[in-house]
Amino acid sequence: MLNIKRILLPVDIPIASLDVINQAGVLARHFKSEIIMLHVVTAQSHDVGVPKDGRAWPSWDLLGEIMKEVRNQGDSSIGPALEGLSIRRNLAEGDVAAVIVQTAEEEKADLIMMPSHGFTFYNFLLGSVTAPVHTGRSVPCKTLAVTEPSRKL
């Protein structure tokens, strides 16, 4: 029987994949799982308000920023999908794929859920970060690459 207690959910800021967040909420509710939202901080993250000083990260509201984006996009499904769930937020720096795998190990994640999108031929189906995470031999748990509707560029 499938037992999913911890779902690692890497999210991008400011363009978080609302479909993946919604689906993670559905799975978390079904399996009574905890969601661990992870954002790997980049230069683009700082441009949208993620503090540059890592000491300020614990007080920065990752979920709040995602919910602002949800309101901006007019998507009313995310709030109810996440309501009442156990959600922890984590910010980290480094190579995105490596940080995702490392966090999955440290958190003892049962599942990594991430969007599948990308712009190069090799990454057309899986995405530039999803491909190395999904196909990596050292990934400590199952991965689910969720196909998104076409993205606006």
CATH architecture of the domain with residue range 6-147: 3-Layer(aba) Sandwich (3.40)
User: Going residue by residue through the chain (153 aa), what tens digit of pLDDT does each one get?
Assistant: 688 999 999 988 877 788 889 899 999 999 999 999 999 888 788 887 888 888 888 888 888 888 887 777 777 778 888 999 999 999 999 888 888 889 999 999 999 998 765 333 333 334 455 555 555 556 666 766 666 654 443
Backbone angle region of 84, left / alpha / beta, with phi > 0 → left and psi within -120 to 50 → alpha: left
C-alpha span between 141 and 146 (Å, rounded): 16
